[in-house]
Structure 1
Amino acid sequence: MGLLFTPGLMSVPAFLCLILGCLTSSLTPLTAAADTSTAYMLLEDYDFPMGLLPKGVVGYDLDKSTGKFAAYLNGSCSFSLEGSYQLKYKSTIKGSISKGKLTSLQGISVKLFLFWVNIVEVVRNGDDLEFSVGIASAYFPIDNFEECPQCGCGLDCVNGQVRKLGTNPFVSSS
């Protein structure tokens, strides 16, 4: 069933506005759906692995003209990687993103010896990622970040808990 146009009830410009309004409102959801992506997809669009962010990012904002972004977690998050690196993420992570470069980072810190220091920059150099804390930096293979760590247990998770390692037969509790 189509719309009926009665010349005496509505002017032609008003009728065209009504039709255009209906068409525009019916197209808006399609456009919005095409633009939906995740923070993990955003990282991949800029040549970063998704494992730079922990599981559980609930949303993000991006200003495409400046590259400024914010990623949101349900709360703060911490975990250990490889038993030696302790990381903390605040509930909001901010910075600027461009192809192969994350700069002016806020909200991510790593424990070095006894002190927590902020990771301020991540740069992709071929198959390596360079993490900078300002005065020092370290390189890690990009393959180490294919999987997203989980808050609380990092990459050693079983049902959301730290995986228990096997017992050492040479250690006695008696």
Structure 2
Amino acid sequence: MSPLILNLLILCSTSLFHVISSTSTDIHDLLPEYGFPKGLIPNNAISYTISTDGFFTIQLDSPCYVHFSDQYLVYFHTRLTGKLSYGSVTRVSGIQAQILFLWPSVTGIKVHKDSGMLEFFAGALSQKLPAEEFVNVPGCSPKACQGGSTATNLVDRV
């Protein structure tokens, strides 16, 4: 094999490996590069991988709940997957949002830059929320307390 071809193979494989298994950069720092605010993923993300075609896996250290804007309760599994492109996440798995007494899976997220909104999809349903509500990286909890800290509202999915 010629040295030129060998060097190109090494360069390509090194670049591909960096893109696919980049765990040194925090996922929260990557999200703005795709037009999303940092606060879409809770603070317990420990690693992620993303392929050159946008398919990703995010590993959390434990499943958890997050309250967004004090009215939306979201459950994150330990493994989140999907396909990320600028302004859009599709094929999402590992995230569920509470709607009344149901827990449908979030299947996609779209950025609407012109209106400053994020649109969340759960099957045929969608909900738009202001992107500014996702600026800060949220903390997460192993249990979900709705509407504050009353023990009677405790929901335990773990």
Tell me the TM-score normalized by structure 1: 0.66
Q: Show the counterpart of 2:122.
A: 133
CA shift, 1:163, in A, is 7.9
What stretches of structure 1 move > 2 A for 4+ residues in a row?
79-84
Q: Show the counterpart of 1:59.
A: 47
Q: Show the counterpart of 1:39.
A: 27
| Distance in 2 (alpha carbons) for counterparts of 1:39 and 1:145 | 14
| Distance in 2 (alpha carbons) for counterparts of 1:55 and 1:67 | 22
Q: What letter matches 1:132 in structure 2?
A: F
Q: What letter matches 1:142 in structure 2?
A: A
Q: Deviations over 1:3-42 (max 9, x none)?
A: xxxxxxxxxxxxxxxxxxxxx9xxx9xxx7xx63111122
CA shift, 1:80, in A, is 2.5
Secondary structure, counterpart of 1:144 in structure 2: helix
Give structure 1 stretches of 5+ with no counterpart: 1-23, 154-161, 165-174
The alpha-carbon distance between structure 1 residues 119 and 74, as it changes in their structure 2 partners (threshold 3 A), is same
The alpha-carbon distance between structure 1 residues 41 and 82, as it changes in their structure 2 partners (threshold 3 A), is closer
The alignment's C-alpha RMSD in Å is 2.5
| Match among 74, 84, 96 for residue 97 of structure 1 | 84
| Distance in 1 (alpha carbons) for counterparts of 2:123 and 2:148 | 33
Q: Show the counterpart of 1:75.
A: 62
Matched, 1:142 2:131: yes
* Bigger shift: residues 144-153 or 98-107: 144-153
Matched, 1:118 2:105: yes
Q: What letter matches 1:55 in structure 2?
A: N
CA shift, 1:82, in A, is 3.5
Higher relative contact order (CA 8 A, sep 6+): 2
CA shift, 1:134, in A, is 1.4
Tell me the TM-score normalized by structure 2: 0.72
Q: What letter matches 1:138 in structure 2?
A: Q
Matches within 5 A, 1:18-33: none
Matched positions, count? 125
| Distance in 2 (alpha carbons) for counterparts of 1:146 and 1:84 | 17
